[in-house]
Structure 1
Amino acid sequence: MKKIYLYIIAFAAITTSSCQKDENIEIVDPKNSLLKISETYAIGSAAKVELWSNTELSTGHQNLFIALYDSVTNKAISTATVQIMPMMDMNINGMKMSHSAPLESPESINAINTLFPCSAVFTMPSNGTDGIWRMKVMVKKEGQSKFGLAEMPITVKQSNPERVRNITAADGTKLTIAYILPSKPKVGVNDFEISISRKQDMMTFPGDDSYTIVMTPEMPSMGHGSPNNVNPIHIKNGHYKGKVNFTMTGDWRINLELKKDGKTSSAFFDILF
């Protein structure tokens, strides 16, 4: 009887200690380090949709995050199919037209720490009433058979230096090349990443994996380049990764040669740090 009594005391002590440890765990909201861009409701899906990013929206590649909440209970939705489509509505001398941009919708139906990560490449800045961006978000919650639609106006600023290039390749293909990394350059070897998207039509810009890239960094003001660079190679979804070596701070230009079927196209990105 004495042994049983001691076991009960020991178990109670362990349980109390475990509970106290659980109570001391701080739950950090992943949105604390993000900026809310906009919010609205997905009509037909009974869901509130929030659009977040790690910075203000600007031209070029932009990491985005979708947060979903049940419109009745306001509880976070962790399982849903989410698709995004950025839309630019233009008014050119009275002629109205719309087009989309390169995008990557969330890959999984499961949220990561309550957020659905995605991205878009904004190819031009907002321009008053002559150029208005809006984000379409299609949501289908678990158990639903149809998508609900949310649309929200967004503002896209001009990046400086420019982080996106729209070019016509040597074979006539319209390409969008977006600078991604390094976001915070440092002296030494940096991870380098770009994305290449092909214009299929005004609404479709799939990633293009068909290019061989030769990268040549230079400092125009100093008249030299740098050694030990690694040319970007395709990873997935039109993303190419390599290494760029900055031997000093200052103004750098990263020259890119895009080679395909014996033809070469060129683009560059300027960096100052």
Structure 2
Amino acid sequence: MKMYNFFVMSLLLMVVSCTLDKTNYEDEINTAVPEHYEFREVAAVNKDDYKISIEALNGTLYQGYNEIRLKITNTQTNQNTNVSNMTFLPVMTNADGSKTSCPHQYMLDYNVAGQYYAGYSVFTDKSNSKLSWKIYMSFMVNQKMYTIDTAINVQEQTNKNLNMTSFTGNDGEQYFIALVSPQKPQVAENKLVAGIYKYNKPTASNGNFPDPSQFSYTEVSGYTLQLDPRMPEPSMGNHSSPNNKDLTQGNDGLYHGIVNYTMTGNWTLNFIMLNQNGKIIKGTKVSTDFTPGIPGAKSELFIDTLF
């Protein structure tokens, strides 16, 4: 009888623990997972007869992946201007004065229908009292080169479905993985999109600032990101889900796969990143054991999410 009572009490504790965890997840989800689909102005700066407007989703730049749009307006005619060689370079200044950048598209693409220049920036840190961000831009009109810069504010990314990570690979190169979508997953099979980037080690500088060759990043091409999603909380037993699909590169340069979330809560996206030749750049396999009461082990390469 005593053993029976002990079993019942243990079972009730497990149920209560799981319920409390789930309730906390739902409280955080309700306040931390907005969806942004509208581009709004982040900053604007004038140069001679031209106004340069920087736009992002929700009018906010976040730590992690950001779609960027630039619009050039002739202030004399109030008309959008089609310029050439539109460049975009984010530079971060640390408290000691040192300068770094982040994965970004340096030469922007012109969207004819929308009359804007499109690119992206993966900001690696948020703005604070010890570091600041500035955007350096240039463009040509009638064979005349214009250069301009403006300070911007990068905010903390509160949506954990858009987290990112940076690491040094087994090949000695510095890599970045940034989640792009879904912004707000469902309990279902979700299309998972991520950007993978590598820092290009600079050679000799041309002596001018900013020198783009000192802040160069490229999209990683032809890699594979093997995916093993799991719920690492002790109450969840490190369980995974079926029908997930590894991420491979699409025509847009981003990496596309499928993640199957079977319930709300904390999930860890465990990765193994392989190069074009199938060599492991980073990541380790995760145990498939069911481990109730014990936190689930994570891969050497992972990103935590919450929905």
Could you state the TM-score of these two structures normalised by the residue count of structure 1? 0.78
Change (3 A) 1:228 1:108: same
Displacement after TM superposition at 1:159 (Å): 1.8
* Structure 1 letter corresponding to 2:101: S
User: Do the aligned partners of 2:272 and 2:280 also contact (CA within 8 Å) in 1?
Assistant: no
- Matches of 1:212 and 1:33 in 2, distance apart? 31
> Among residues 69, 82, 86, which one is paired with 2:86 in the alignment?
82
Displacement after TM superposition at 1:116 (Å): 2.0
- Matches of 1:155 and 1:217 in 2, distance apart? 33
Displacement after TM superposition at 1:51 (Å): 0.6
Q: Name which of structure 1's ranges 248-257 and 153-162 shifts more when overlaid on structure 2.
A: 153-162
| Matching of residues 126-145 of structure 1 within 5 Å | 126-128=127-129, 130-141=130-141, 144-145=142-143
- Matches of 2:140 and 2:191 in 1, distance apart? 36
1:95-117 C-alpha deviation (Å, 9 max, x unpaired)? x2112211125653444323222
Q: Percent identity?
A: 24
Residues 1:272 and 2:306 are matched in the alignment: yes
Residues 1:48 and 2:48 are matched in the alignment: no
Q: Secondary structure at the match of 2:79?
A: coil
User: Do the aligned partners of 2:224 and 2:248 also contact (CA within 8 Å) in 1?
Assistant: yes
Displacement after TM superposition at 1:150 (Å): 2.1
Match of 2:147 in 1: 149
- Matches of 2:132 and 2:50 in 1, distance apart? 25
Residues 1:190 and 2:190 are matched in the alignment: yes
What is the number of equivalent residue pairs in this alignment?
234
> Among residues 61, 65, 72, which one is paired with 1:61 in the alignment?
65
* Structure 1 letter corresponding to 2:151: P
Residues 1:97 and 2:114 are matched in the alignment: no
* Structure 2 letter corresponding to 1:149: T
1:119-161 C-alpha deviation (Å, 9 max, x unpaired)? 1000111122x311011222223xx224312211111122233
- Matches of 2:140 and 2:63 in 1, distance apart? 29
User: Do the aligned partners of 1:181 and 1:191 also contact (CA within 8 Å) in 2?
Assistant: yes
Residues 1:37 and 2:42 are matched in the alignment: yes
**RMSD, matched Cα:** 2.1
Off by >6 Å, runs of 4+ in structure 1? none
Q: Secondary structure at the match of 1:91?
A: coil
Could you state the TM-score of these two structures normalised by the residue count of structure 2? 0.70
Change (3 A) 1:106 1:116: farther
| Matching of residues 208-227 of structure 1 within 5 Å | 208-221=220-233, 222-223=236-237, 224-227=239-242
Displacement after TM superposition at 1:168 (Å): 0.5
Change (3 A) 1:268 1:238: farther
- Matches of 1:235 and 1:179 in 2, distance apart? 15
Match of 1:199 in 2: 199
* Structure 2 letter corresponding to 1:215: L
Larger Rg: 1
Match of 1:122 in 2: 123
Unaligned runs of 5+ in 1: 1-31
